[in-house]
Amino acid sequence: MSEQNVVLTDSASNKSTALPVVSGTLGDPALDIAKLNKDTGYYTFDPGFVSTASTKSAITFIDGDKGILLYRGYPIEQLAKQSNFLEVAYLLINGELPTPDQSSAFEHEVTHHTMMQESLRHFLNGFHYDAHPMAMLCGSVSVLSAFYHDTLDINDPEQRRLAAIRLIAKVPTIAAAAYRYSIGWPIRYPRNNLEYVTRFLHMMFEVPSEPLQLSPVAAKALDLLFILHADHEQNASTSTVRLVGSTGANPYACVAAGIAALWGPAHGGANEAVLKMLNEIGSADNVSKAVEKAKDKNSGFRLMGFGHRVYKNFDPRATIIREMCHKVLADLGVNDPMLDIAMKLEEVALKDPYFVERKLYPNVDFYSGIIYKALKIPTEMFTVMFAIARTAGWVAHWLEQHNDKDSKIGRPRQIYTGATNRDYVPIDKR
Ligand code: ACO
């Protein structure tokens, strides 16, 4: 921590307060306001945490102006090209790329925790057949805490580590089971002879009656999408995991809370919303009309997959996904009119002063839905895909939080705007 201070002066009392500056290894410094209320009687007001760092973290760095995303210091472009999802999960959790031995041991351990308890499978049967898979995933992950009592002592580092492995291993199994349940297909058990992503695709699409012909392009594309979605520092769902984690709640409850936060259309639910929006637009000829509607604040309509709280230049993940989208569709021989609509929408919006002035660029979810669709993943499963990948980031943050001796229960303050003190009026007098 530097010795630098920033001095604030209250113009009413002329009293000055020195706030220590906190700096990390990269990025803008912050003012340490932890003692502000004690020293001055003021709170800070920052709805949506636009200017507030809630924690120190060594996992992921984003420079939103320059379009930079680093996992543990490694640029996302290099990881996307050279790594794979399980290696990235190891990196996020452990801070370093694994050696060949560490890599095999990690893969072996994850692989041997992919089965779900048979009673958990029966639990899934309790859902209505048309339940949204995000609802099933959220409920089932939360219920893992009822099955794995040996990982609930959050003060034991080994139990924490094992819980992290279990979550990375079991979330794809539950996700695929939720999908199969919703379409009335028998659940497929995870096959240990396959690697992570291919195993998931088998659990999704293999039928008992014939072997699955899986395109290597599909597995590679999904692995890349998982890498790009694996972490994104203190986004809404990760902050939710940390907030729930700060109370000492068990890891399964924390990750279930993260899944619930991810589901919202302003966050991970955007990939599903993008495809619905492209369907509604229907043809490239209607794009200008849709852009005009998105600019009209009274319409209640926003361009889904556009804009980001942090990226005010471009989302580096969107650049990778855009390129990949063309390649995957070409390799799989898919000719999807949605891609034409998406490209036209991007072209029109990026020339429009409304979007230019507000620095609204396509985000990670703008093209991911088109790729999922080409991989035959149904629309309701898009956010589930995101959740599988983001589980790696959630558990990395949860583990980091529990190693941080400065971690405290999260408890924001408020500016109260309600009625002032008044006397109760009995019902017959109202
Ligand atoms: N379409 C039209 N206008 C938009 C959009 C959009 N997609 N996004 C932001 N704006 C406008 C706002 O109306 C606002 O205009 P104003 O200054 O005239 O009032 C301005 O741009 C700033 O928008 P905010 O909502 O203040 O920006 P914020 O940082 O709070 O929100 C968010 C970011 C939620 C991502 C927003 O851009 C949005 O709703 N996008 C669509 C949903 C989406 O794609 N979400 C996925 C995000 S990526 C992820 O979570 C994986």
For the question of residue 308 being annotated catalytic, the response is yes
| Long-range Cβ pairs for the range 322-325 (8 Å, 24+) | 322/362, 322/366, 322/367, 324/221, 324/224, 324/367, 324/371, 325/367, 325/370, 325/371
pLDDT at residue 85, rounded to an integer: 98
Q: Where are the beta strands (DSSP E) in 292-368?
A: none
State the amino acid at position 248 in one-letter form: G
pLDDT at residue 216, rounded to an integer: 87
Distance separating alpha carbons of residues 10 and 1, to the nearest angstrom? 26
| Listed residue (324, 311, 107) closest to 224, CA to CA | 324
Residue 2 tokens read as 């530097």
| CA 307 – ligand 1 centroid, Å | 5
pLDDT, averaged across the chain: 94
**pLDDT tens digits for 199-233?**
999 999 999 888 888 888 899 999 999 999 999 99
367 lines ligand 1 (CB under 6 A): no
Q: Is 353 exposed, middle or buried (0-12, 13-18, 19+ CB in 10 A)?
A: exposed
308 lines ligand 1 (CB under 6 A): yes
Distance separating alpha carbons of residues 242 and 84, to the nearest angstrom? 26
For the question of residue 122 being annotated catalytic, the response is no
Residue 254 tokens read as 């924390």
Specify the range with the lowest mean pLDDT, choosing from 23-27, 161-165, 183-187: 183-187
Model confidence at 129: pLDDT above 90: no
Distance separating alpha carbons of residues 383 and 267, to the nearest angstrom? 9
181: CB partners within 8 A, 6+ apart: 124, 125, 127, 129, 136, 187
The kind and range of the H/E element at 367 are: helix 365-374
Q: Between vectors from CA 238 to CA 75 and to CA 372, what angle results, nearest 5°? A: 65
Residue to mutate, 69, 287, 360, ligand 1, most ligand atoms under 8 Å from C-beta: 360
Q: Could you give the percent of the chain with pLDDT greater than 70?
A: 100
Residue 37 tokens read as 């209320």
Please, which pLDDT band fits residue 76 given cuts at 50, 70 and 90?
A: very high
Calculate the CA dihedral of residues 155, 156, 159, 160 and round it to 10 degrees: 50
Distance separating alpha carbons of residues 239 and 331, to the nearest angstrom? 38
pTM of the model: 0.93
pLDDT at residue 58, rounded to an integer: 98
Distance separating alpha carbons of residues 274 and 124, to the nearest angstrom? 28
pLDDT at residue 215, rounded to an integer: 86
Helix H segments across 184-250? Answer: 196-205, 216-229, 236-245
Residue 81 tokens read as 């090209």
pLDDT at residue 2, rounded to an integer: 52
Distance separating alpha carbons of residues 22 and 116, to the nearest angstrom? 44
| Listed residue (167, 119, 113) closest to 387, CA to CA | 167
The kind and range of the H/E element at 74 are: strand 74-75
Distance separating alpha carbons of residues 129 and 81, to the nearest angstrom? 39
Specify the range with the lowest mean pLDDT, choosing from 82-96, 133-147, 319-333: 319-333
Distance separating alpha carbons of residues 295 and 356, to the nearest angstrom? 12
pLDDT at residue 213, rounded to an integer: 87
270 lines ligand 1 (CB under 6 A): yes
151: CB partners within 8 A, 6+ apart: 159, 160, 162, 163, 166, 250, 251
Instruction: Please tell me which residue in 202, 223, 365, 397 is annotated as part of the active site.
Output: 365
Count CB atoms within 10 A of the CB of residue 146.
Answer: 14
| CA 304 – ligand 1 centroid, Å | 9
Distance set, CA 368 to CA 273, 274, 359, 386 (Å): 11, 9, 21, 10
Please, which pLDDT band fits residue 288 given cuts at 50, 70 and 90?
A: very high
Please, which pLDDT band fits residue 188 given cuts at 50, 70 and 90?
A: very high
